[in-house]
C-alpha cells in the first residue's frame, strides 16, 4: 500500500502525524495478509499495528486479549475515533451478547475484543464461521508459552479454534519474549512461516540499580524527598505491603496512593486518575497497576519486593521514562523475598512450580551478578549482538566491584563443565566446584569428580555462580533453553591456551549491613544521605556523654541513630523520640544535649530545616510486634517457645529484644537466663561487656574464645544493656 495512503489514514483516524519506529514496516507487511509476530516494548505503539488495518480492511477484526479490564478502555477509545468496536467477555448478559451478535451480522462492527475463554467456545466458533473476518490479533501473546511469565492454558487453544473458523491471517503481539518464548509462540500459532518484527529491548534512558533490602524505607523516603514533584511507581508483592507502605509514606508527608486489585473499583480508578493528573506523584502498587497506563513522565520505578521474573521486571521498569528522558529503576533485593516467592508457588502443579522457580532464579542471578545490568537484560532477551562493554548507566557500570584475574577460576569452571557427561545448571556446577554435598550430587556421584570441592578456598557457591555467569556472558559457555550449560568452541580454545581473564568480584550483599556501608558504595550525588559534619559533631558529643555517665558510647545512642539525627535534624525531644529505635525514655535521658547541638547546627546553617513534624515514623506493625514481645516476656514465656511461635530463630528473636533495649526500655529476661546459664558463665560474659568497646556480638564470641555461642552472648548482652543503659 502507498505510504502516503497509510499516513493519511493515520492522520485522519488517529490524528497522529507520523509513524513510530517499526509501525509502518509492520503495517506494510501485515496488509499483505501475511502472519506475523510483533515483539515491541510496552508503550511503543503496538496496538496501532492492528487498529489501523482493522479500520482499513473489509470485514471485522478480532482481538484476543487476556485483560478484560483493558478491553473496555480500548473499545471506548476506538469508538471515539469512529472505529466501531465491541467486546465480549463471559460477564456479558445473554441479551447484551445477542445484541452484539446482531450488530456484527449486519456488518457494523470493525473490531471485536474477546477473551480467549470466550473465543474458543463452540458457540462462538460457530457464530464466527458466518462472519467475514479480516484478521485475528493476539495481544499479550507470550501467554501462550508455559516458559513465559504469564502462562494462560486457554491461549493454546486459539490456533485450533481459528482453523475451525476459516483461513485467517494472524498478528501476534507481545512486549516480552525470550528467544524460547518467541519460538513457542510461533510454533503454537503455526505462524513460523510468517515474519517477525522485534524492536530492541535496549532502553538507554533507564538507569538500573539493585540495592540490598536494608534500611529500604529510609532510603525510599530519602530518595523521594530528593526527587520532589517527580512521578514514581513503587511495586510490591502483596496487597498488604502496598497498603502499609503507602500509609507509611503518607505519615512521612509523602503523598501517595495505593493500588491493587483488592481495592474498590472506584477508589482504584480515582487513584489512577489522580496519578495521571499529577494530583499525586507516587503510587504504591501491585503489578496490577500500570497495564494500559500511558504516562510518559514516570521518573522512577521501585521494586520494593523482587519481581517474579525478568520479563515482569522489564515490563514494570519499562513504565519509567517513556518520554525518553533519564529515569531510574531501583530494585531492593533480599534472598528472603526470593524464598518467600518460591513458597507462594508451592501449591502449583509441578511443571509450573519448576518454571516459576527458574524465573525467580533468573532474578536472583540478575541481582547478584556484578556486570552491566543492561547487558544482562539484553542477553536474556536474546540481543547479544548489541551488547556493549559497558553502558555506564547502571549501578554495576558506575560502581564496579573489584576486577580480579580469574584465569585459574575460569579453567576450573570450564574443566568441570567439560568433564560432566550431560549439561547442568549454573547453580549445580557451582555446588560441585564448591564441594557442596546434596542428594543430587550424591546420586550423580559427582563428589567423586576430580574437580569436586576444588573451589572451596576461593569463595562460596554465590562466588562461583557469579563467575560462571560471567563466562556465559563472555561466550565461553552456551546455555540452552532449559538453562543447562555446555562448554562451547571458545571455551575449549581457552582451555587449550588459557590467558589472563579479568572478571568482576562477587557483590556480597550480606556484607553490606548498614546504611553507612551503602553510602560508601553510592553514586556521588547520592552519597550524603546524612549530614556528615553534624554526624561528626554528634559522635564527639556522644563520647562526652558516655564518659560523664561512665558507659560505652554505643549505649548512649547507636551509630544508626546518630545517622538519623543527622538526616532528620530533630530539635525537640518529641521528634527525637520518634526516630526508629529511640524510645521516649532514652530520648529524655540523653536527648537534651543532642537536640541542643542539632539546634545550634541548624541555626548556623541557613539551608537546613529542622524537622518539627517527624519524618521517619516506625511502622505500626513493628511497634505492635514489640509490644507483643514485651508482654510475653513479662509473662515469663519460654523464649524458645516464643521464637517458635513467631516462626523465627531464637537468635533473631534476641536481636529484636536487643533493639527494644536500645530504644531505652528495660527488659528482664533473668528467668530465662538463670535456667540456661550457670552463674559463673553469666558473670564472665557480663564482665566482658563492661570492658568491651563495642557491641559487636561476633567480636564478643571471638574475644571470649568461642566458649559461648551466639544465644548465650546475646542473652547476656540484653541483660547488660537493659541494666546499664536504661
Ligand atoms: P503498546 O501496546 O505497545 O504498549 P500502545 O499501543 O498502547 O503501546 O501505545 C502507546 C501510546 O502511544 C498510545 O497512547 C498510543 O496512542 C500512542 N501512539 C501509538 N502510535 C503512535 C504514533 N504513531 N504517533 C503518536 N502516538 C502514537
Ligand atoms: Zn551497565
| Residue-range definition of the domain harbouring residue 460 | 403-506
Question: Is there a domain that residue 524 lies in?
Answer: no
The CATH number of the domain holding residue 459 is: 1.10.10.10
Ligand 1 pocket residue status of 20, Cβ below 6 Å: yes
Residue of minimum CA distance from atom 16 in ligand 1: 45
Question: Is there a domain that residue 385 lies in?
Answer: yes
**In this structure, are 334 and 352 located in the same domain?**
yes
Q: How far apart are CA 156 and CA 172, in angstroms?
A: 13
**In this structure, are 178 and 90 located in the same domain?**
yes
Q: Which ligand is nearest to the CA of 292?
A: 1
Question: Is there a domain that residue 612 lies in?
Answer: no
**In this structure, are 212 and 324 located in the same domain?**
yes
Run of H or E residues at 392 = none
The CATH number of the domain holding residue 649 is: 1.10.10.1390
Three cell numbers written together for 521 = 558504595
Question: Is there a domain that residue 12 lies in?
Answer: yes
Question: Is there a domain that residue 560 lies in?
Answer: yes
Chain position carrying cell 493528573:
277
Number of domains in the chain: 5
Could you give the C-alpha distances from 73 to 78, 86, 117, in angstroms and in order? 9, 11, 20
**In this structure, are 595 and 579 located in the same domain?**
yes
Q: Work out which ligand 1 atom sits closest to the CA atom of 23.
A: 23
**In this structure, are 80 and 143 located in the same domain?**
yes
The CATH number of the domain holding residue 302 is: 3.40.50.300
Cβ atoms < 10 Å from Cβ of 270: 14
Question: Is there a domain that residue 370 lies in?
Answer: yes
Ligand 1 pocket residue status of 45, Cβ below 6 Å: yes
Could you give the C-alpha distances from 429 to 239, 371, 697, 724, in angstroms and in order? 38, 20, 35, 51
Give pLDDT tens digits for 84-135.
999 998 888 899 999 999 999 999 999 999 999 999 999 999 999 999 999 9
Three cell numbers written together for 116 = 480467549
Contacts of 691 (CB under 8 A, 6+ apart): none
Question: Is there a domain that residue 613 lies in?
Answer: no
Q: Which ligand is nearest to the CA of 370?
A: 2
Question: Is there a domain that residue 223 lies in?
Answer: yes
Question: Which residues crowd ion ligand 2, with CB under 5 Å?
Answer: 372, 374, 391, 394, 397
Residue of minimum CA distance from atom 1 in ligand 1: 43
**In this structure, are 44 and 187 located in the same domain?**
yes
Domain boundary (398, 424, 449) is at 398
Q: How far is ligand 1, taken at its centre, from the CA of residue 44, in Å?
A: 6
The CATH number of the domain holding residue 559 is: 1.10.150.80
Q: For helices 216-226 and 559-568, what crossing angle results, to 10°?
A: 20
Three cell numbers written together for 550 = 561512665
**In this structure, are 230 and 342 located in the same domain?**
yes
Domain boundary (374, 398, 422) is at 398
- What pLDDT score does 521 carry? 45
**3-state SS record for 407-422:** HHHHHHHHHHHHHCCC
Contacts of 233 (CB under 8 A, 6+ apart): 282, 283, 285, 289, 290, 298, 300, 301, 302, 316, 319, 320
**In this structure, are 21 and 39 located in the same domain?**
yes
**Listed residue (149, 531, 499) closest to 355, CA to CA:** 149
Three cell numbers written together for 561 = 541513630
**In this structure, are 313 and 413 located in the same domain?**
no
**In this structure, are 390 and 407 located in the same domain?**
no
Q: Work out which ligand 1 atom sits closest to the CA atom of 42.
A: 4
Residue of minimum CA distance from atom 24 in ligand 1: 16
**3-state SS record for 232-244:** EEEECCCHHHHHH
Domain boundary (346, 374, 398) is at 398
- What pLDDT score does 384 carry? 84
Regions of the chain with pLDDT less than 70: 1-2, 291-292, 508-529, 580-581, 606-623, 725-726
* Alpha helices for 474-610 (secondary structure H): 489-496, 515-520, 532-549, 559-568, 573-577, 584-604
Three cell numbers written together for 132 = 467475514
**In this structure, are 339 and 362 located in the same domain?**
yes
**In this structure, are 287 and 416 located in the same domain?**
no
Amino acid at each position: 500500500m502507498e505510504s502516503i495512503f497509510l499516513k493519511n489514514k493515520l492522520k485522519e483516524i488517529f490524528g497522529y502525524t507520523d509513524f513510530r519506529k517499526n509501525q509502518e514496516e509492520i503495517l506494510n507487511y501485515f496488509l499483505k495478509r501475511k502472519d506475523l509476530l510483533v515483539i515491541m516494548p510496552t508503550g511503543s505503539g503496538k496496538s496501532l499495528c492492528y487498529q489501523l488495518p482493522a479500520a482499513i480492511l473489509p470485514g471485522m477484526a478480532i482481538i484476543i486479549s487476556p485483560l478484560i479490564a483493558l478491553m473496555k478502555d480500548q473499545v471506548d477509545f476506538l469508538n471515539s475515533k469512529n472505529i466501531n468496536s465491541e467486546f465480549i467477555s463471559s460477564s456479558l448478559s445473554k441479551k447484551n451478547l445477542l445484541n452484539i451478535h446482531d450488530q456484527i451480522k449486519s456488518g457494523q462492527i470493525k473490531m471485536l475484543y474477546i477473551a480467549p475463554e470466550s473465543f474458543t467456545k463452540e458457540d462462538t466458533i460457530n457464530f464466527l464461521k458466518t462472519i467475514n473476518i479480516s484478521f485475528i490479533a493476539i495481544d499479550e501473546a507470550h501467554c501462550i508459552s508455559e516458559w513465559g511469565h504469564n502462562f494462560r492454558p486457554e491461549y493454546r487453544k486459539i490456533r485450533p479454534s481459528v482453523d475451525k473458523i476459516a483461513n485467517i491471517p494472524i498478528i501476534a503481539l507481545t512486549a516480552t519474549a525470550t528467544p524460547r518464548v518467541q519460538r513457542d509462540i510461533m510454533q503454537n500459532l503455526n505462524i513460523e512461516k510468517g515474519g517477525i518484527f522485534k524492536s530492541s529491548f535496549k532502553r538507554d534512558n533507564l538507569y538500573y540499580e539493585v540495592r540490598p533490602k536494608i534500611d529500604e524505607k529510609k532510603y525510599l523516603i530519602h530518595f523521594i524527598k530528593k526527587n520532589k514533584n517527580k512521578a514514581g511507581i513503587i511495586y510490591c508483592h502483596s496487597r498488604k505491603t502496598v497498603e502499609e507502605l503507602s500509609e507509611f509514606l503518607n505519615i512521612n508527608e509523602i503523598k501517595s496512593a495505593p493500588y491493587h486489585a483488592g481495592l474498590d473499583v472506584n477508589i482504584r480508578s480515582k487513584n489512577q486518575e489522580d496519578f495521571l493528573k499529577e494530583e499525586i506523584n507516587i503510587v504504591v502498587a501491585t503489578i496490577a497497576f500500570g497495564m494500559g497506563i500511558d504516562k510518559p513522565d514516570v521518573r522512577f520505578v521501585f521494586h520494593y519486593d523482587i519481581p517474579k521474573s525478568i520479563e515482569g521486571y522489564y515490563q514494570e521498569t519499562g513504565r519509567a521514562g517513556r518520554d525518553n528522558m533519564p529515569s531510574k529503576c531501583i530494585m531492593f533485593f533480599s534472598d528472603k523475598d526470593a524464598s518467600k516467592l518460591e513458597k507462594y508457588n508451592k501449591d502449583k502443579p509441578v511443571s509450573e512450580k519448576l518454571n516459576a522457580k527458574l524465573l525467580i532464579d533468573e532474578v536472583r542471578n540478575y541481582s547478584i551478578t556484578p556486570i552491566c545490568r543492561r547487558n544482562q537484560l539484553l542477553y536474556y532477551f536474546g540481543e547479544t549482538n548489541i551488547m556493549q562493554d559497558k553502558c555506564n548507566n547502571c549501578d554495576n557500570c558506575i560502581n564496579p566491584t573489584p576486577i580480579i584475574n580469574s584465569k585459574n577460576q575460569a579453567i576450573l569452571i570450564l574443566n568441570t563443565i567439560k568433564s560432566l557427561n550431560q549439561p547442568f545448571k549454573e547453580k549445580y556446577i557451582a555446588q560441585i566446584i564448591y564441594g557442596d554435598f546434596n542428594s543430587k550430587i550424591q546420586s550423580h556421584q559427582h563428589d567423586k569428580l576430580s574437580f569436586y570441592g576444588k573451589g572451596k578456598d576461593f569463595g562460596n557457591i554465590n562466588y562461583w555462580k557469579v563467575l560462571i555467569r560471567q563466562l556465559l556472558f563472555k561466550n565461553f559457555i552456551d546455555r540452552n533453553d532449559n538453562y543447562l550449560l555446555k562448554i562451547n568452541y571458545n571455551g575449549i580454545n581457552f582451555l587449550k591456551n588459557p590467558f589472563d581473564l579479568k572478571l568482576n568480584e562477587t557483590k556480597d550483599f550480606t556484607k553490606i549491613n548498614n546504611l553507612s556501608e551503602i553510602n560508601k558504595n553510592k553514586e556521588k550525588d547520592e552519597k550524603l544521605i546524612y549530614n556528615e559534619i553534624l554526624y561528626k559533631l554528634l559522635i564527639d558529643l556522644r563520647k562526652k556523654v558516655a564518659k560523664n555517665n561512665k558507659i560505652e558510647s554505643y549505649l548512649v545512642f547507636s551509630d544508626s541513630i546518630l545517622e538519623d539525627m543527622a538526616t532528620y535534624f530533630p530539635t525537640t525531644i518529641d521528634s527525637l523520640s520518634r526516630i526508629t529505635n529511640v524510645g521516649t525514655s532514652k530520648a529524655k535521658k540523653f536527648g537534651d544535649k543532642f537536640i541542643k547541638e542539632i539546634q545550634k547546627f541548624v541555626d548556623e546553617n541557613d539551608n537546613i530545616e529542622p524537622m518539627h513534624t517527624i519524618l521517619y515514623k516506625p511502622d505500626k506493625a513493628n511497634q505492635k510486634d514489640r509490644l507483643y514481645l514485651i508482654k510475653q516476656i513479662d509473662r515469663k514465656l519460654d523464649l524458645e517457645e516464643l521464637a517458635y511461635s513467631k516462626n523465627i530463630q531464637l537468635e533473631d528473636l534476641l536481636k529484636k529484644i536487643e533493639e527494644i533495649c536500645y530504644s531505652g526500655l528495660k527488659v528482664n529476661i533473668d528467668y530465662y537466663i538463670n535456667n540456661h546459664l550457670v552463674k559463673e558463665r553469666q558473670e564472665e560474659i557480663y564482665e566482658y561487656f563492661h570492658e568491651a568497646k563495642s557491641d559487636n556480638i561476633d567480636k564478643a564470641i571471638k574475644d571470649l574464645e568461642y566458649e559461648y555461642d551466639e544465644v548465650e552472648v546475646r542473652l547476656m548482652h540484653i541483660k547488660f544493656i537493659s541494666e546499664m543503659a536504661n
